[in-house]
Amino acid sequence: MGQRGSAATSPLSHKIQSSPLSADFLALPQAELHLHLEGSLQPKTVCELATKYGVSASTQDVLQRYAYREFLEFIETFKWVSSLLRAPADFALAISDLGEQLLAQNVVYAEITLSVGVMLLRHQSPEKNFEAIIAAAESFHSRGLQLNFVFDAARQFGADAAMKVVEAAERCASKSIVAFGIGGDELSIPAEEFRQVYEKAGVIGLHKLMHAGEVGGPEEIRQAIELLGAERIGHGIAAIRDPSLIDLLAERRIPLEICPQSNIRIGALAKQLGLSEAQIEQHPLPQLFRHGIPVVLSTDDPAMFHTNLRSEYENAFRMGLEDAELKRIAKMSFEYAFIDENAKVALQRSGKATSALS
């Protein structure tokens, strides 16, 4: 499994070393498309929520939880952190925390994944939570950051629970909800059981996403595309094991939302490579990108994986990608965002976000 002390960079290292990225690259406005709200909660914010609800948790406790050897350990930590998001005001706090992090990285656009399936499991109101999220997001518009949202279901909860997530998105009826996706344990339930869910998502105008090929095999990616109509694939690193799938992704221009630090931290990369542990230099991102597959570089759960978007581009640099290639990947994050073409151009030219929230 992946090792904790890998070659992947901690964002804290920026305090003591200069970036290998060019000044031109660092000046570019950035977009991020695979980013879980719950996984962005910094230890300080987690402790604040824990104190609110009488849960004992020090910063050191949180940091100990934010260390994993494999995927299921990460899922347990994700469940614990999300259990502290109990009221609409908690989600607003999480958005405020994340918004400040994104602004500090020159991010002008992000699609934030919300674990609506977990909200429903905990008998919360997604509509009330989302109302608070939107209100918090609006405060960032004038500061140059546009946020849109993905309503996410947990695969292991089943198709009926996933349909309830789509129905919640329909009730919220907001243009800022741009997509429906499924994350969680990709090995738990066959993709074909979610066909009707994805059909419904398409009917109400949502784009379609799927976590696949993270810890599962290349067949999970193929099924997400061919059975469910997924337009972007979350992670997708298992594609490296299937040359015909690599060709398919390149021909259809289906982007992979690649999160290198995450792949190292939970052992996903090591699993796909058949190794006991893996280094960032072994990541298949360069091979996939150079084959013609669109890549959008992302952080996944940045606080939980001790990373940020700049760190991920530095990881890509260490894989051997050149400055021009990194700039192309940064541009792809706008090209494959679920916003109209005029907004994509405006965001890249001015670095100023224009609101699409309703």
**Chain mean pLDDT for the chain:** 92
Whether the per-residue pLDDT at 40 is higher than 70: the answer is yes
Average pLDDT, integer, range 57-74: 89
Tens digits of residue pLDDT in 172-186 = 999 999 999 999 999
Tens digits of residue pLDDT in 190-207 = 999 999 999 999 999 999
Domain extents in the chain: 22-350
The pLDDT, as a whole number, for residue 351 is: 55
Q: Give, in order, the Cα–Cα distances in Å from 54 to each of 46, 65, 79, 84, 126.
A: 12, 18, 17, 10, 24
Whether the per-residue pLDDT at 2 is higher than 70: the answer is no
The three-state secondary structure class of 296 is strand
Angle of helix 159-172 relative to helix 195-203, nearest 10 degrees, comes to: 10
For residue 175, give the DSSP letter.
Answer: T
The pLDDT, as a whole number, for residue 350 is: 66
Which segments of 188-319 does DSSP mark as H helices, in order?
195-203, 218-226, 243-252, 260-265, 268-273, 285-290, 309-318
Average pLDDT, integer, range 132-160: 96
Average pLDDT, integer, range 52-59: 95
Average pLDDT, integer, range 21-41: 96
Q: Is 229 buried (19+), middle (13-18) or exposed (0-12) by CB count in 10 A?
A: middle
What is the spatial distance between Cα 49 and Cα 44, in angstroms, rounded to a whole number? Answer: 9
Whole-model pTM: value is 0.91
Q: How many CB atoms lie within 10 A of CB 54?
A: 6
Percent of the chain with pLDDT over 70: 93
Highest mean pLDDT out of 67-81, 141-155, 341-355? 141-155
Whether the per-residue pLDDT at 354 is higher than 50: the answer is no
User: Regarding predicted confidence, which is higher, 279 or 75?
Assistant: 279
Whether the per-residue pLDDT at 158 is higher than 60: the answer is yes
- Looking at domain 22-350, its CATH class is alpha beta
Strand order in the sheet with 256-258: 30-36, 107-114, 146-154, 177-183, 207-212, 232-235, 256-258, 295-297
Q: pLDDT grade, residue 349 (50/70/90)?
A: confident
Q: Which residues in 319-355 are b (16+ Cβ under 10 Å) and which e? A: bebeeebbbebbebbbebbbbeeebbebbbeebebee
The pLDDT, as a whole number, for residue 331 is: 97
The pLDDT, as a whole number, for residue 18 is: 79
Residues with a catalytic annotation lie at 214
Strand partners, 149: 112, 177
